Amino acid sequence: MTTEQAQLPNPHRVVIVGAGFGGLEATFRLAGAPVAITLVDRRNHHLFQPLLYQVATASLATSEIAWPIRYLLRDRAEVTTLFATVNGVDAANKRVLLDDGDTLPYDTLILATGAFHAYFGHDEWEPFAPGLKTLEDATTLRRRILVAFERAERETDPARRAALLTFVIVGAGPTGVELAGTIAELARDTLPPDFRNIDTQHARVVLIEAGPRVLAGFADDLSAYAQRSLESLGVEVVLGKPVTECSADGVMYGGEQLAAKTLIWAAGVRASPAAEWLNAPADRAGRLQVNPDLTVPGHPDIFAIGDTVAIADTDGKPVPGIAPAAKQQGRYVADTIKARLRGETLPPFHYKNSGSLA
Ligand SMILES: Cc1cc2nc3c(=O)[nH]c(=O)nc-3n(C[C@H](O)[C@H](O)[C@H](O)COP(=O)(O)OP(=O)(O)OC[C@H]3O[C@@H](n4cnc5c(N)ncnc54)[C@H](O)[C@@H]3O)c2cc1C
């Protein structure tokens, strides 16, 4: 913050909820603007979610993919970082509601609360098939995967040992594909010399997908290439078979039961409840349907960005729920706020597609 900004009597108050890719980028981009920012997150760290699978498979340490939000913004005196959970918005009185009863007044609000994994109405499967969204999820999965090998080393019953050495990943999007490939590499290349009673190369890694191909968001030839690469690592790819049951004993799919002690859910996401907070229109995944300038319909002072929104680009195609899209939206909203403070208006948001990677 410049000395002039610090001395502003009533700076424009911007509250940003969520310090993920979108919220943090908006905060960075507002540097130098005549605003006072409150950045709220229920976690104290910004998380690089694309590398969570490497923590889950013991290739990276947690500290390599997470950074304290406070530390990232320590040189920005106009930014106040709050560790708190938002559970509503009182738009009539321009206040954000926190779950401990506190409220935060705003002039402009940015909702950047992301998405979470969803079990298509089967939340009871979560304890058996955890998803991968947070640092805690990654360390839980890492523990389960490594402990399964440890238990298999001491197990004498062949059926129980086989179940311990069977790893099932549900959902063959980028996360499922990355996890399946990395667990296969762990079993095939990394672990064999460490064990005496089991051959970890005989571990089964089964990737189950309800749709007809892996990486459905990619071109057909890339899907086929990814499937061949997985199979060359020893991953069993099962397509066109929705999972109908997850339990402590394994999974049921296509009418068959597969005994497995480690299940991982990578099959679906649901948006944060931002749309519910504002009673705003949402799609089937709960994503808030924003205006072309990323404002919430009926609330020109509230923006929503990233995985918690659904928006079509100028060509009519949906903007994907990926980090670059959230960052571009964060920058666009920051630029819009700066333009408004100058009395100007920007053209609608346009997504620049630089490609996808898995
Ligand atoms: C395992 C995994 C792998 C991925 N791989 C890739 C990839 O390879 N490439 C890619 O581009 N994208 C990838 N993505 C998607 C990418 O991470 C998201 O698109 C991106 O994080 C969206 O940014 P966001 O700002 O909308 O939400 P997020 O980055 O999820 O940030 C949301 C923030 O809001 C906070 N929050 C949520 N609710 C509240 C609340 N009620 N109160 C306070 N704070 C709250 C959260 O703690 C979080 O910090 C991956 C995602 C996952 C889960």
**112 CB near ligand 1 (under 6 Å):** yes
CA 305, CA 291: separation in Å to the nearest integer? 11
Percent of the chain with pLDDT over 90: 92
pLDDT digits (tens, 9 = 90+) for 92-114: 999 999 999 999 999 999 999 99
Query: Which pLDDT score is estimated for 2?
Result: 47
Pairing of strands 12-17, 108-111: parallel
Q: Which amino acid is at 49?
A: Q
Q: How far is the CA of 47 from the centre of ligand 1 (A)?
A: 8
Extended strands (E) in 272-317 = 288-289, 295-296, 299-304, 309-310
Closest CA to 292 of 277, 274, 305: 305
DSSP state of 9: S
Query: Which pLDDT score is estimated for 3?
Result: 45
DSSP string, 225-241: HHHHHHHHTTEEEEES-
Secondary-structure percent of the chain, ordered helix, strand, coil, rounded to 5: 35, 25, 40
Query: Which pLDDT score is estimated for 355?
Result: 82
Mutate to test the pocket of ligand 1, among 49, 141, 307 (most ligand atoms within 8 A of CB): 49
Q: Look up tokens 């998405």; give the residue.
A: 115
pLDDT digits (tens, 9 = 90+) for 48-101: 999 999 999 999 999 999 999 999 999 999 999 999 999 999 999 999 999 999
Across all residues in the chain, what is the average pLDDT? 95
Task: Report which protein residue has its CA nearest ligand 1's atom 3.
Answer: 50
Q: Is there a catalytic annotation at residue 4?
A: no
Catalytic residue, from 178, 209, 245, 344: name it: 178
**21 CB near ligand 1 (under 6 Å):** yes
Which H helix or E strand runs over 247?
Answer: strand 243-247
Q: What angle do CA 218, 223, 229 make, to 5 degrees?
A: 135
Largest CA distance in the chain: 74
Q: How far is the CA of 115 from the centre of ligand 1 (A)?
A: 6
**18 CB near ligand 1 (under 6 Å):** yes
**306 CB near ligand 1 (under 6 Å):** yes
DSSP state of 283: -
